[in-house]
Every structure is written in C-alpha cells, then in structure tokens.
Amino acid sequence: MLKGGYAGKVLEVDLTTEKIREISTEEFFDVKRFVGGKGFGASIMWRKLHAGTEPFAPENPLIFLTGPLTGTLCPGSRMCIVTKSPLTGTFCDSHVGGHFGAEMKYAGYDAIIILGKSEKPVYLLVNDGDLDVRNAENLWGLDVFETEERIRRENTEQALRVACIGPAGENLVRFACICVDRYRQAGRGGTGAVMGSKKLKAVAVRGSGKIRLYDTEAFVETATEARNALLRNETIRARKRWGTARTITLTSDQDLLPTRNFQEATFQEADSLSAEVLEKKFWIKHKACHGCPVNCGKLGVVRTGAYAGTVVEGVEYETLALMGANCGIADYEAVAYANMLCDKYGLDTISTGNVIAFTMECYEKGILTKEDTSGVECRFGSSKALIELVKHITFREGIGNQLAEGVKRLAEKLGEKAEKIALQVKGLETPGYDPRSSPGLGLAYATADRGGCHTRAWPTSYEMSGKAPDGTVIDRFSTVKRAEIVKAQQDYGAAVDCLVGCWFVRGTVGKELYAQMLNAATGIEMTVEEFTRLGERVWNLVRMFNVREGFTRKDDVLPQRFLNEPLPSGVAKGQRLTKQQLEQMLDEYFTLRGWDKNTGVPTKEKLKELGLEFAVLQ
C-alpha cells in the first residue's frame, strides 16, 4: 500500500472506444523500481507500444505524468509528457513547469494515459472525480490563448489548469508542443503533434484534494533545507533576477552561442539581447512555477515600435539563442514577437529557430531560391523572414509544409549540400550551445535519449571551470573524463526526472536532499546509491526502447559541421570535435555503461543487474 506522496490513481482514456477507466497506481506501476515521472513513462511505453508503431498511429500513448514530489513543498517540482516522438522516432519525455501537474495530483491522478484517436475534436475535462470527454469542434482552429480562455469560460472554473495545442499541433507540425498555463510548454519532440493526431485539443483539470505525506515533519524540514540552499546560492540568485537570459553574453564570450546556423559561436551583437537590456526595457513581472522560490520566469511587454503590445513570458535563453543569434537577429523586440507567435500557435522555439536558421543559410548559399521559399527573402538578420516563416510553418503553407517536417527530413530532401549544414541529432534540432568549444557536450548530444538535447547532461560547467567533479584538473578542449562526467549526470538527471524535478535547481539541491525528500514523502526508504541506481535503470530502459526502434551506436553521431568545420573566431578559434575524438569518448562511455561497445546496446548482464530482465531482446 502506498504510504504517501502519490495521488493513488491512474486515469486511462481511450478516445477510439470512448472508454475511461481508473486503476490504482500501485497496481499499474512498480513504484519502488520506477518511482514516477520519466520512470513511469518508460515503463508504460515499453509495455504499451509495439516496436515500429508510427508516432501518429492511435496506438501511440500520450501520457501526462507527475512524480511523488509534484505539488508538494519541494522546490521546482514539475510534470512531464511522454510519447514516441514524431520528429525523431525515439522515446520522448518533455518536461514542463507551471501549475498543471500539481492540479492533476490534487484531482487524484499520478498519470493520465491517452490512447486511441477520436473521430472529431474533443477535450478531456477532469474535475476531481468527474470525468468527461467533451466536443471541441468549436475550439479546433483556435490558438492556445483563445483555447484556454474559452474552456475556462465554458466551465466557469477560473481555477482550471489547461494543457492544450494550437494550430501547429492540429496541423501535425513535427515539433509542435503542448502548452500549459498559457506560457509554459512541453516543448521538445513534437508532443503537440501527437496530441493533434488524436484530435485531442486540450486536457483541463481542477482538483481540491490533498497530497498525503508519509512523514510530514521530516519532509517539511528537508524541503525547507532545499529551498534555503537555493536562496543562498549565487547562481540561483542571478537566475531569480535575470532568468535564463543572463547567460546570453557569457555563451557568446565563450564561443558557445550558435550564430547564423552555427557557422560561428560568437554573436557580435549579443549585448542587444542581454538580460540587462530585457530587464531595463522589457520585463514587468517575475513569475514562478508551483511552489518554487526561484521565480525565474519573466513576463515582458514590448512598449514601442512595430511590435508594441506584444506580451510574452521570457524571452528565455534558448529562444534568444536560436531565434535571435542563430538567425543573425539582434532585435529583441522582433524575437519577443516571434516567441509570442510560437506560444500562441504551439511551436517549440528551439526547433523553430534552428529550422529557420537552416533555411536562411540554404537561401544564402543558393540551395533554396526565393521561388522555393514562397517569396520570402530568407536572409540572416531578417526579422520579417523570421516572423513569416513561423506563420508558414504553423499552417504548413508553401515552404512551411517542408519546414514543418524538421531539419533532418528537409535536408534529406534538399540533398548532400544541405545535409552538411543541418544541425540535428537523431532528428532533434540541436539547442543553443556549440559543442566545438565543449567536447563533453558533444558526447551528451550524441548519446541523449531523445536526440540533440542539453538537458540530459551538462558537462560544460566543469569544462569552463577547469575541474572535474572529483577535483581533477581538466583542459577545457580535451576529451579526458568526459564519458565519466556525462554518464554520471545522465543517471542523476534521469533519477530527478522520475520525481519530477526542475533542471535549473537539481545541481543545487543535490541527490542527498532529493533522496531524503523522496523517503519522507513516500516512505520508500531509498539510499543515495539506490537513488542514483534508479536513474541508471531508467536510462537503460529508455535506451532499450530506442534500440527496439532500431537505434544503435550508428545513430550516436553529431552534425557534420561540428566534426568538420573549426570555429572561425573567438576564444575557441580553430576548435572542432573530430570524429576520432567522438568515437574515443563513445568507446569509454559504452564501457562505463556496461553496453556493447560495437553496437551501443545494453548487455544482458547489465539489464539483469538493474532488474530489467524483461527488456532483454532475443
């Protein structure tokens, strides 16, 4: 019997048959082995989905998941959405903050599993124990902002929390996201497109229940210690003031900032996009996710000029990097407007900015012509092109129909010259950091479970400091100890993703406090070593899911630009990550993981050691 930390129920909705059922959490999941969040998601995807199933098939589950710390005093507790990605074909867990996850637990559910496909648009209303699949034909075609407002008006429940898609999800843009609480997004991998394929416009929840804790006194004490650690931390204090935008000038100075489709890693006009400028001219309010003391969200308003009246939460670093510097655009107001459109239509700003920058380079190199681009002059630095292409992608108009498929598919269609400048790993567009000046990050991109992703491991901080976690001095541009660092961070991160914890605070909170909060909330009694083992177990199960889908070492690669083109300027001038260096790191990484070095497949021995005998493929 569950002792605390969990709502206690799983809701399963089949949109094809219109059947709804509730199952107890402990009956549905091996709670001690997988804990919640990403762990639960990996368990469901392994059991529920047959290999080779198309992401847009009705059989592909769309799963809303919380963790045992979601909705509690734990700082930075979030939720995640799991599915098979239509962009990459890999396992996809996309994490999101806001308040939806907490409300979902208060309504009584640790997970909501959506199966099947409706014949017509619907939305799911969860109001404590009352469940209803409602007609959403009047909502289909509306943007995210209109959808959330309409659902709240229809139900006269201002406390409702809404997760919904915009036109991008309806039009099956492969990097469409699910938007939560208006300005928060489960952004990466195309979760919104899967939701659109099911004709599910939204999930709205309201809950009045409470989360029972196993040892309330111990939990409050430990959660308070975690919160105080955050408030004392200098980096967290800076994030509280400036959000993620604080790093835009730092990454430019350190040759990490993608510029003009990663042709460079230093943007000469980075100061125009800086947090100092945004704080002075744009931001009006700090915002926080449920129960978090960091308040890293920033609500901003464009006050003058062509984009006056634009309101958006952000602009976050990744958006400034990918839709700003990577497109050669230094006008923060234009980037804010494009950001608002992505929020409104339901697009991942990382993939969108990457796709548009790729299009701009193809245009300037003659791979694409003005006729190909629906008359849009796609040159670097053009705010007009940025905004027009966001609209074209959303509605799959003209060139947008091809861009909506993502960089990998578009490059394959355009040919070899385009493939050389396509920045993606396993189909997921690379985020806002150039690994040529951070070789460990290159290994993290190559081995990330959902494709090119910076949130699975962040060795860059150690490389910049010149010291490994054990205090050993390391050279920033060498590959020494990178496999060790990346593996440890991936395992720890996967464990926190089972809770579900925020990426921004996990380094400060640390595994000891997380394990203590987990134990006090649930009574599971997990040691720090077992907590780390949890992450390793989940990482291996997700790897086996991807192996079952056909991914092996051959797919753990990096874009040709990172391997073949040295950085042209800056402190890392001349640096590139050679194929030989990458292969060497992969050899070390697979050895440390106990995976077959030739294939990158976890061995039977490793799977049995982790209690994953069921995942051994014959």
Q: Which stretches does DSSP call E strand in 37-177?
A: 62-65, 79-84, 91-96, 111-115, 122-127, 130-135, 161-164
> What is the rounded distance in angstroms from the CA atom of residue 480 to the CA atom of residue 484?
9
Q: Give the start-end residues of each E strand in 255-368.
A: 283-287, 297-301, 311-313
Q: pLDDT > 90: what percent of the chain?
A: 96
Q: Contact at 8 Å (CB) between 373 and 384?
A: no
Distance between CA atoms of 349 and 347, rounded to whole angstroms?
6
Phi, psi of 93 (to 5 degrees): -120, 120
The pLDDT, as a whole number, for residue 572 is: 96
**pLDDT tens for each residue of 107-156:** 999 999 999 999 999 999 999 988 999 999 999 999 999 999 999 999 98
DSSP string over 507-540: HHHHHHHHHHHHHHHH-----HHHHHHHHHHHHH
Contact present, 561 and 435 (Cβ < 8 Å): no
Residue 172: pLDDT band by 50, 70, 90 thresholds? very high
Average pLDDT for residues 603-609, to the nearest whole number?
Answer: 97
pLDDT in tens, 389-437: 999 999 999 999 999 999 999 999 999 999 999 999 999 999 999 999 9
**pLDDT 10s digits, 283-323:** 999 999 998 989 999 999 999 999 999 999 999 999 999 99
Q: What is the dihedral of CA 153, 155, 161, 163, to 10 degrees?
A: -80
Reply yes or no on whether the pLDDT at 167 is more than 90. Answer: yes
Mean pLDDT, residues 486-507 taken together? 95
pLDDT of residue 156: 81
C-alpha distances (whole Å) from 437 to each of 328, 351, 473, 483 are 20, 21, 17, 16
State how far the Cα of 224 lies from the Cα of 72, in Å rounded to an integer.
Answer: 11
| Cβ neighbours around 249 below 10 Å, total | 18
Length of the chain: 618
Lowest mean pLDDT among 140-144, 491-495, 553-557, 614-618: 614-618
Phi, psi of 285 (to 5 degrees): -160, 140
pLDDT class for 1, splitting at 50, 70, 90?
confident
Q: What is the mean pLDDT of residues 22-40?
A: 95
Q: What is the pLDDT of residue 7?
A: 96
Indicate the pTM of the whole model.
Answer: 0.97
**Which residue stretches of 173-272 are H helix?**
191-197, 216-232, 234-242, 248-253
pLDDT tens string 522-575: 999 999 999 999 999 999 999 999 999 999 999 999 999 999 999 999 999 999
Mean pLDDT of the chain: 96
Give the residue-averaged pLDDT of 572-592: 97
Split at pLDDT 50, 70, 90, the class of 160 is very high
Backbone angles phi, psi at 64, to 5 degrees: -95, 125
pLDDT above 80 (res 157):
no
Share of residues in the chain with pLDDT > 70 (%): 100
406: left (phi over 0), alpha (psi -120 to 50) or beta: left
